[in-house]
Each structure stands twice: as structure tokens, then as C-alpha cells.
Structure 1
Amino acid sequence: MHSYPPRSKRHLLGALALAGMAFSLLLQPAQAQTEAWPGKPIKVIVNFPAGGAADQIARAVTVPLQAALGQPVVVENRGGAGGNIGGEAVAKAPADGYTLLMSSGGMVSVNPHLYPKMPFDPTKDLVPVAAAARVLVFLEVRPTLPVNNIQEFMQYLKAHPGKLSFGTPGNGSSPHLAAEMLKAQANVFAVHVPYRGAAPAMQDLLGGQVDFMFDPGIGLQHVKAGKLKLLAVGSAKRSPLFPDVPTLDEVGLKGFDADTWFGFYAPAGTPPEVVARLNREINKVLATTAVKDRITALGGVPAPMSPADFHARAAIDSTRFGALIQARNIKGD
């Protein structure tokens, strides 16, 4: 004879089985959505204007990325407020892997020090997906400035306090912070002219409206063409593109390092499997010759790393740049 559990226990077991089936059915759409990702085009918001380093790196990466993912990857520029406008748009987007952010690391590590009331918290409302490049800054001057090397430039700057001007992509941008490092360490003064992006600042440097600029790489073609003078690199190491150009550390500004890491972010809550897939695919793209060459042409260095390492890098930069911002009393736009 068969032995059956008591009626009450059978009812309990049946209820548990039904509950399990219902929970399983609830999970299936979410699991299917994750497994099917990507099932539609992906948008990458660049939080700086077209033509700048973030824009150029984003476009270099997204072309091969869409081939790897099998879906269109569309770049959209939303500049303004030091990157906060584009950053907020992504932070408040659905966390489904279809809206990403391409930004300089400054939005996470610098902006909280610049803006007392940000419309979102970049450390809580965004998750790091993949670093793309370590972006160097190059100290360039207009061709008519009567200097031929970094030593002559520093002497000229000291001899003409407040007479020279420098352009930047905006308050708190990495080129601006590099110039403030220079002013602080060399004890010199020059007039800051902020622009809405690196491209318009570069145009005015070429036109002679400003005297010098820390260039995130978009002007190196003009250096090679003889339209600008490259005097130094604001990095801890010399650039492989210009091995004969000294770093500012070498000429006496000890410890000078204004490098920043550019990369991709997603809204907090994006499925970990989607973040992991994006990280793998972006790192593969960064290893391709075409993308490496494009980033190198900007004077940058491809920087594949895990999301955790990218997050740790931002924390280090937040400490060092935060101290500079406080000491120089730098405010956001």
C-alpha cells in the first residue's frame, strides 16, 4: 500500500509547488530579457560636445562594438555642466543595458568636488562598465608665441603675469585642472578662458585668441602640421608619439600628473551579466589594431580593465583632484 502525507501537509506541499511555479514564471521574462540582450539598438550618450576626446574615443569603440553585439550602437552628444547633463540622462535611464554613458573619469572623480548640489550621485546612480583610454594632456602654444621650448615658456609666463590666457573645455575639465596644477606648482598666473568643449577651445588656440592650452589630444594633428608648438606632456611618462618631448615633472614640476581615464558607464541596477558582456566586448575592441591606432593618434593609451579596477582608479583620482580643487577654490560652471 502507498503511504500518503496527511491532508494538511498535502495542501501545504501543493501550495508551495504552485508558489514555486508562479515565482519561476515571474523570473522567466527577466531571465529571457537578459539572455536575449541585446535585442534592440544601444544608445551611447557622450556627455561632451562632438569633436572632443570623449566623442572621438566613443565613436572609435562603438563601430566595432556594434559588429560584436549584432545591434546598432548609436552615439548621441549631450554636453553641458561639466558632463553632468549627459551623466544625469544615463543615471535616470532604464537599467536595461540599452543606454550607456561615455565620459571622462572626471564626472565621477571631479564633479562631486565642483558641484555642491548635483542632480544625481555618480558613484551611486552609475556603475562602471569598462575603461577605454588613459588620456594624456599636451601643453601646446600658439605658433606666434615667442618661445621654442618649455623652459623658455616658463620664463615668459613668469615675466608676463596675467598677460597670457589659456583655453579649456570648461571649469574642472582635465585640461583646466592641468593648468591649475601648473599655476600652483610654478607660482605663475594666467587667465582662464573656459569653452563648451575641447574643439572650440582648440579652434581659438589655432586662431591665436588664446595663448596656450593643455590639449587632450585633438590638436596633435596641428602640431604635426606645424600649426602649434608642443612644449611638454602633463603626464607621469613621456608620450610614445613624441618621445623627445619632456614631461613637466622632468622640468621641475615634481609629481605632475594630469592623466585621466575615459570610459563607459551604465545606470545602477543594470544586470551584472550585461555589464560583464559589455566589459568583455569593449576590452576585445580595445585590443584591435584599428582602435589602438585611433586612440594612440589622440595621444592616449588604450586602457582595458575590469569594472572593479575602473572604479578603484576613479577613487584614486577623486582624492588627488579633490585636493587640488579645494586648494585652488575651483567651482563648476
Structure 2
Amino acid sequence: MFQTTRRAALGAALVAAGRAHAQAWPSRPITWIVPFTPGGITDTSSRLVAQPLGAWLGQQVVIDNRPGAGGSIGTEAGARAAADGYTILYGTQGTLATNPVLYRNVRYDPLRDFAPVHGLAQTPLLVVVNPARPFRTLAELIGHARERPGELTFATSGIGTGTHMAAELFQAEAGVKLTQVPYQGSAPALNDLVAGRTDVMFDYLVSTRAFLDAGRLRPIATTAGARLAALPEVPTMAEAGLPGAETSSWSCILAPAAVPAPIRARLADGLQAALSEPRVVQTLAGSGSTPLMLAGEALQDFVTREVERWRGIVERSGARAG
């Protein structure tokens, strides 16, 4: 009886200490590691959310870009950061779910080394083709690919990126084989697609919008679960007969695994408030994204499922990035 009471008292004291620590936190600026270069969609969305998050927390949130190895370098830095709540990390489908399979020297475990805090955004892709190509629908593209295995080419913004993985998922679901042409980013990939050097690409609305508006690319499908408000005439994968090819690139905020739960909870509350601001919602919508409003255990379950899903897709594709 005495031992039980003592353990209960100790547990209550630890909870109280954790809450007191969270109330004192943050007392200085917070570093937000973005494992990609400045100027891209990951960087701009981080800066968009960091400002209202900092205002809610009462401390500045400083973006720290640490690119390299498809995001693995910055992600490893986030895993090794002090577990005091003053370093958070931008996590993605690529850094958490595909890089550990694509890269042989990844030195972090996506499930063991991090505690998911709150979702950020999810962004579906568009299937876009050069207007000079004869296929005007996804069914016609699939028909051409089946008649010419490996002959049609798909451009990507790099091996292991969302543009690459969405195409791999499509090939698996459609039962076709295309040949990848990887580039260093979306801009050169889209330029070559417009020039007719490649046949098709899976990319985001924010990257393709100018070409679509100018009639230099044709959208034939979206990987979203529903038609995009910005392009209501473009059918979904499910409408085209490939419900299994539905996917969205996603992002979330992570903390080192040992960050105390009360601090993670406060961070999650701040992120929820920031992502609910009309300016943030409108800006994300303009790039074809929606806030990913998951936190805590629900987010952990989501990340776990995605890690398992994409591990299988990458392994079946045989893709490797070093």
C-alpha cells in the first residue's frame, strides 16, 4: 500500500513538474529546421506558419535551412537536437517514408527518433502532359504506355521526391512501365516537358499553374481524393479508374523523441492556431494545399501508416538514390 501510494505521488509530481516546465517554455527563440533549400515550397510554407506560431508562443521561430541528400542531412540534425523543445523539424513524406529506403546511409529512424507534433499541409499532384502528345485523358496515356513499355518518359524533380513517388505509385496501379528522367528541381523538369523532351510529369499546382494558364501543358488527372477547386474540370485518379493511385505529399512538425509531452502539446496548440488563420489557409489553398490538422496519437498513426505504405512502393520500384 505504501509503495503504491509512493509511486502515485511520484507520478503526480513528475506530471506537475512537466507542466511547470511547459509553462516556463519557451523563454528564448525556437529553431525550426527545414531540410531543404530556401525559396522552395517547403521553405515558403514554413515561413508562412512560423510567424503566427511565434506570435502565439510569444517567442520568435527562426527558420534554419539545412539541405542535402534529399532532406536527410537536416532531418538527422533534427533527430540529434537537444530534447528541450527549442528545436523542431519540418518532416515530409520523403524524409520520413521514402529516404530511409532510397538512401543507404540514412542515420535516423523515422519512427523511433521523432515525436510527431502536428500536421502542416497535404498537397495533391497533377498529371500534366505536353499538349502535342496524342493522349488527352489518363486512359489514353495508360493505353499508350501499355503498347510501348518503357518508351514513354516521365520527368521528376529528383529521385525520391513526391513527383517521383507519385509516378511510381501510378505505374504500379496502372500496370505500366515508364522511364524516369530525373532533374534537379521542378523548373528544369517542366521546361523540358514543355519543350517536348519528355512525355508526362506528376507535379504540384503551384509549380505548373503558369504553364497551364498559358496552354503550354495539359492537365489530365489529379491525385487528390476530390476534384480541385482551382481546376474543377480535371478528373481524379479514382474517376479515371485508379483509386489506389490517390496520394498527396504531406508535411508535419516533429520534435526529438524525448521532448516532454507538455511541451509537444503546447507546440501542437500553437500550430493548430497558426494553421487556422485565414491568411495561412488562403495562401496554402493558392498553392493547391490544405492544412493537415492532425496531432498527437492521430498524427503518429498517420505517419506510421505512410512509412509502411511508401516503404513497400519504393522497394517494389527498385529506386535507389545512393
- Give the CA deviation at 1:183: 2.0
- 1:169 maps to a residue whose letter is S
1:47 positional shift:
1.7
- The verdict on how the C-alpha distance between 1:75 and 1:196 changes in structure 2, with shifts beyond 3 A counting, is farther
Moved more, 124-133 or 217-226: 217-226
Counterpart-to-counterpart distance in 1, 2:207 and 2:87: 30
Aligned to 1:100: 88
What amino acid maps onto 1:221 in structure 2? R
Q: Which residue of 2 aligns with 1:133?
A: 121
Identity %: 36
Aligned to 2:309: 320
Q: Which residue of 1 aligns with 2:10?
A: none
Does residue 83 of the first structure (1) align with residue 71 of the second (2)?
yes
Shift in Å, 1:136: 0.9
SS in 2 for 1:240: coil
In structure 2, the CA distance between the partners of 1:167 and 1:126, relative to structure 1 (3 Å rule), is: same
User: What is the RMSD of the two structures over their aligned residues, measured on CA atoms?
Assistant: 2.7
Instruction: Give the SS at the match of 2:38.
Output: coil
**Contact 2:157 / 2:186 at 8 angstroms: preserved in 1?**
yes
Match of 1:277 among 266, 280, 285: 266
AA partner of residue 268 (structure 1): A
Mapped partners of 1:185, 1:195: distance in 2: 24
Query: What residue is the counterpart of 2:233 in the other structure?
Result: 244
Cα distance in 2 for residues equivalent to 1:51 and 1:148: 33
1:76-112 CA distances to partner (integer Å, 9 max, x unpaired)?
A: 3222222211100111111222221112133222333
| Residues 168-222 of structure 1: CA deviation (Å, up to 9, x unaligned) | 2332322212111222233333221233444554454455554322113332432
Q: Which residue of 2 aligns with 1:260?
A: 249
1:112 to 1:296, Cα distance in 2 relative to 1, 3 A: same
Distance 2:62 2:198 in 1: 34
Which position in structure 1 is the counterpart of 2:174?
A: 186
Instruction: Provide the residue aligned with 1:168 in structure 2.
Output: 156
CA contact (8 A) 1:52 1:199 kept: no
Q: Provide the residue aligned with 1:230 in structure 2.
A: 219
Greater shift, 92-101 or 42-51, is seen at 42-51
| Residue identity opposite 1:99 in structure 2 | T
Give the equivalent residue in structure 1 for 2:103.
Answer: 115
Structure 1: runs of 5 or more not aligned: 1-23
Gap change, CA 1:143 and 1:63, over 3 Å in 2: farther
Give the deviation of 1:44 after TM superposition: 1.5
Give the equivalent residue in structure 1 for 2:201: 213
Residues in 2 aligned to 1:51 and 1:286: alpha-carbon distance in whole angstroms: 20
Is 1:74 aligned to residue 62 of structure 2?
Answer: yes
Q: Secondary structure at the match of 1:255?
A: helix
Question: For residues 283-315 of structure 1, what are the alpha-carbon distances to aligned partners after superposition, in whole Å with 9 as ceiling and x for unaligned?
Answer: 111111111111112212211121211110011
Q: What amino acid sits opposite 1:286 in the alignment?
A: L
The 3 A distance-change label for structure 1 pair 245 and 306 is same
2:49 is paired with a residue whose SS is: helix
Deviates more, 1:240-249 or 1:149-158: 149-158
Once the 2 structures are TM-superposed, how far is the Cα of residue 146 of structure 1 from its aligned partner?
Answer: 4.2
SS in 2 for 1:275: helix
Q: Distance in 1 between matches of 2:163 and 2:26?
A: 36
Alignment size in residue pairs: 307
Deviation at 1:117, TM superposition (A): 4.2
1:88 partner SS: helix
CA distance in 2, matches of 1:101, 1:143: 40
Q: Residue 195 in 1 paired to residue 183 in 2?
A: yes
| Mapping for residues 273-312 of structure 1, pairs under 5 Å | 273-312=262-301
Q: How far is the alpha carbon of 1:266 from its aligned partner?
A: 1.3
Q: Which deviates more, 320-329 or 209-218?
A: 209-218
Contact 2:123 2:249 (8 Å CA) reproduced: yes
What amino acid does structure 2 have at the position aligned with 1:262? S
1:131 Cα deviation from its structure 2 partner: 0.3
Structure 2 gaps of 5+ residues are: 1-12
Distance in 2 separating the partners of 1:124 and 1:268 = 7
1:43 aligns with 2:31: yes
The one-letter amino acid of 1:274's match is: I
Note closer, same or farther for the CA distance 1:103–1:217 as it changes in structure 2 (3 Å cut). Answer: farther
What is the one-letter code of the residue matched to 2:282? D
Query: Structure 1 length as normaliser, TM-score?
Result: 0.81
**Contact (CA 8 Å) 1:54, 1:103: kept in 2 or not?**
no
Give the 3-state SS of the residue equivalent to 2:172 in structure 1.
helix
The residue number in structure 2 matching 1:151 is 139
TM-score, normalised on structure 2?
0.84
